[in-house]
Amino acid sequence: MVRSEIPAPDASRPVTLAVDESARGSVALRRRLTDEGAEVFELITNGTFVMDTLETTTERLLARAALAHPPATGTWSVTVGGLGLGFTVRELLADPRITHVDVVELEPAVVAWVREGLVPDTAGVLDDPRVRAHVDDVRRWLPERPDASTDAILLDVDNGPDFLVHMANTEVYEPPFLAVVKRALRPGGVVAVWSATRSTSLRRRLERTFAGCEEVHRVVEREGRDLDYYLYVARRS
């Protein structure tokens, strides 16, 4: 993992703060300035924009969409597939009902950057005693969990089934893995999946697996453009 010296922000171009290379390619953390002079941090994978700190509405909504369904015990144990820049985890930790959060992130550099506080808005989220971070592939980690071991599973490992950064992540949205998700959930447990595009196929797969699925649509304004994002939420009966 390469850390760059941090020069003064330049509004004309992004500055790379850190970059890491793995068998999956490159992952980088960049910083830029808006026209108003505000700092924005960006996560870039293989040269493709993944997310930033300018607009985090739907990352936070992913947590709230699950927490809207009360757990049977009154408290929450949650599994998050995909740390990103940490905003979903931060939103979870704001809820006093949260007792435990397992965060499963494939890229060790991403975990290190958030843990080191390179993203100021989420500095400290991985230091919360309720959080355990796992550097692993959620496709391999979750099948090893006990049955009925978590109240909610939040999946934001890629851009959704129809706009993938890593083609191997197709498996996350397929029926065999969704069956694993269902098995790991406690009765009444919730799965919420983030998608950059509407996915009728994902909704139908969740409906078949869980006997129901809610599609949550949000229009987000990003630098003068309206973008459509989707969450797919299902509950184990």
**What is the tens place of the pLDDT at every residue in 71-110?**
777 899 999 999 999 999 999 999 999 999 999 999 999 9
Residues 48 and 61 in one domain: no
Report whether pLDDT(4) > 50.
Answer: no
CATH number of the domain to which 95 belongs: 3.40.50.150
Residues 188 and 86 in one domain: yes
> pLDDT tens digits for 33-62?
988 899 999 999 998 889 999 999 999 999
Residues 63 and 88 in one domain: yes
> What range does the domain containing 69 cover?
57-235
Residues 214 and 133 in one domain: yes
Residues 126 and 84 in one domain: yes
Report whether pLDDT(3) > 60.
Answer: no
Residues 73 and 99 in one domain: yes
Q: From the candidates 156, 158, 162, 226, which is the catalytic residue? A: 156
Residues 137 and 64 in one domain: yes
Residues 22 and 128 in one domain: no
Q: Which residues of 129-154 are buried (b: 16+ CB within 10 A; e: fewer)?
A: eebebbbbbbbebbeeeeeeebbbbb
Give the pLDDT score at 1.
52
Residues 194 and 211 in one domain: yes
Beta-bridge partners for 31? 15, 41
Give the pLDDT score at 13.
84
Question: Pick from 52, 70, 85: which residue ends a domain?
Answer: 52
Active site residue 162: no
> pLDDT tens digits for 118-136?
999 999 999 999 999 999 9
Residues 185 and 153 in one domain: yes
Residues 27 and 143 in one domain: no
Domain count, the chain: 2
Burial class (CB in 10 A: 0-12, 13-18, 19+), 99: middle
| Cβ proximity of 196 and 163 under 8 Å | yes
Mean pLDDT of the chain: 92
Residues 105 and 162 in one domain: yes
| Cβ proximity of 50 and 38 under 8 Å | no
